[in-house]
Amino acid sequence: MPRTLIRNASIVLPGDGLRSASGEVRIGNVLLGEGRILDVDASDTASCDDAIDASGLHLLPGVIDDQVHFREPGLTHKEDLSTASHACAAGGVTSFLEMPNTKPPAITIEGVRAKERLAAEKSLVNFGFYIGATPDNVAELAKATDVPGIKIFIGSSTGNLLVDEQEALERIFGETTLPICSHCEDETTVRANTERYRGTNDIADHSRIRDEKAAMIATERATDLARRHKHRFHVLHVSTAAELVYLADPSPYLTAEVCPHHLFFNVDDYARLGSRIQMNPSIKSSADNAGLWQALLDDVVQVIATDHAPHTLDEKAQPYPNSPSGLPAVENSLALMLNQAHHGKVNVVQIAHWMSDAPARVWGMTAKGRIAEGYDADLVLVDLNESRTIRDAEQHTKNRWSPWDGETLTGWPVRTYVGGHQVWSIDAGFDESARGTKPTFDHSRGGYWATTDGIGV
């Protein structure tokens, strides 16, 4: 494979692994070859086939989005692995982990392998697929290997993916070994609230139906299971500040994440954006926005992911409650955070921790998530001074819309590398011949809290 020398970049280097702000930025040269980072302190004259002058640009580890719904197989009128991976590449996302609620759902090992084969044919970036839990597939979950983890829907879902009975949950936590993640909304509470608001067409009632209580009950229930069974568990898309009480005490078994829509939108935005911000868990209050931001800054929450879940605009335009929950975000998530760095709320070291290093360690993705010798050359060059406006028509996701349509952000990706290969640049566009690969998932490393030095080869 050709060697690439990235010269004069502001390189975002990892810190101690637990404090998100503990890394550093250093100007230097990075040499790529054989799909790996060969040298993070290369000389200007290092032997290479291609040299890139990155003066004025920052080099970050590629984003790992550990929660996406790319809709293939079965729902490809909304999205597919090709269109979604193009959106990833343009957004600086070099690896994604996809959820099991496709049609058919990935609830067997062979179902996961079938999705891996599809991605190997279509995806420009790296890929992994969770296996989904049902009330009666514990034996299959116990046999699963070389996948990121198990996904449980403790709360409303489609088909037979809802797992709400305590006995089934106890078996899953007690009889399997893969790390588990969950959608946490209490089904009993959601159903009671749905009955209370029966007949409503007010989109704002979505946040009253899927309220703080529903999130708190389910998150308390799941974190209790994790602690009792001493089983690694990742709380997906935390939406309320109240849930943070279950995460505040450090535990070797618990990690959590937050999504951009829960950081940036709240119930006051329904009047402006309507069903474009209809999500499960629902958008909450401005106080919850503030609490979730503080949890990131305090390292109570470790990961930022998108829950990219596109629907067509025609589907979203149906009157509530017929409008589906979900929004696209993978191609804008990094820029949204870089814009926050531009305004001084966070810095690029923290962004690299939350969006790259932490998810790699949570899911045991070896040689991912850091700029360090021997790690995979999954990288993104960003221009912190470039301003662009998000436009629906310019989105690469299949449905070509964004809830951030019309917003101008400062700080954007300009080149994305997967395995040392440039898969996208602002000037050249996409390399349609590029294909990502499946990472190695090594759960014997112990997850986030046991890999403070990163998860190397």
- Annotate 438-456 with DSSP letters as a single string: PPPB-GGG--GGG-TT---
How many whole angstroms from its chain centre is CA 364? 15
Which residues in the chain land under pLDDT 70? 155-160
- Structure token pair of residue 421: 């290969």
Contact 54, 9 (CB under 8 A): yes
Amino acid at 229: H
- Annotate 168-193 with DSSP letters as a single string: HHHHHHHH--S-EEEEE--HHHHHHH
Q: What's the CA gap between 170 and 340, in Å, rounded?
A: 41
Eight-state DSSP code of residue 375: S
The fold of the 63-369 domain, in CATH, is TIM Barrel (3.20.20)
Amino acid at 370: R
Contact 382, 92 (CB under 8 A): yes
Q: What's the CA gap between 32 and 46, in Å, rounded?
A: 11
Q: What's the CA gap between 112 and 119, in Å, rounded?
A: 11
Q: What's the CA gap between 98 and 340, in Å, rounded?
A: 26
Count the Cβ atoms, other than its own, within 10 Å of residue 368.
27
Angle between helix 212-229 and 187-196 (nearest 10): 170
Eight-state DSSP code of residue 6: E
Q: pLDDT (tens digit, 9 = 90+) per residue, 265-275?
A: 999 999 999 99
- Structure token pair of residue 108: 């067997």
Out of 307, 357, 376, 378, pick the active-site residue.
Answer: 307
Angle between helix 166-175 and 212-229 (nearest 10): 40
Report pLDDT for 164.
81
Report pLDDT for 157.
54
* Strand, coil or helix: 418: strand
Count the Cβ atoms, other than its own, within 10 Å of residue 226.
22
- Structure token pair of residue 113: 């392998």
Q: What are the structural domain ranges in the chain? A: 63-369
Contact 295, 258 (CB under 8 A): yes
Q: pLDDT (tens digit, 9 = 90+) per residue, 161-190?
A: 788 889 999 999 999 999 999 999 999 999
| Active site annotation includes 307 | yes
Q: Where are the alpha helices (DSSP H) in 166-310?
A: 166-175, 187-196, 206-209, 212-229, 260-264, 270-273, 286-297
- Structure token pair of residue 130: 């969770």
Q: What's the CA gap between 128 and 132, in Å, rounded?
A: 13
Return the residue matching tokens 């250093």: 26
Phi-psi region of 399 (alpha: psi -120 to 50; beta: other; left: phi over 0): alpha
Report pLDDT for 299.
97
Report pLDDT for 381.
98
Angle between helix 109-122 and 81-90 (nearest 10): 60
Helix (H) or strand (E) holding 90: helix 81-90
- Structure token pair of residue 240: 């309320």
Amino acid at 374: G
Nearest C-alpha neighbor of 363 from the set 236, 277, 241, 228? 236
Report CA torsion sign: 323, 152, 115, 379.
Answer: positive
Contact 69, 105 (CB under 8 A): no
Return the residue matching tokens 């709240």: 266
Contact 306, 67 (CB under 8 A): yes
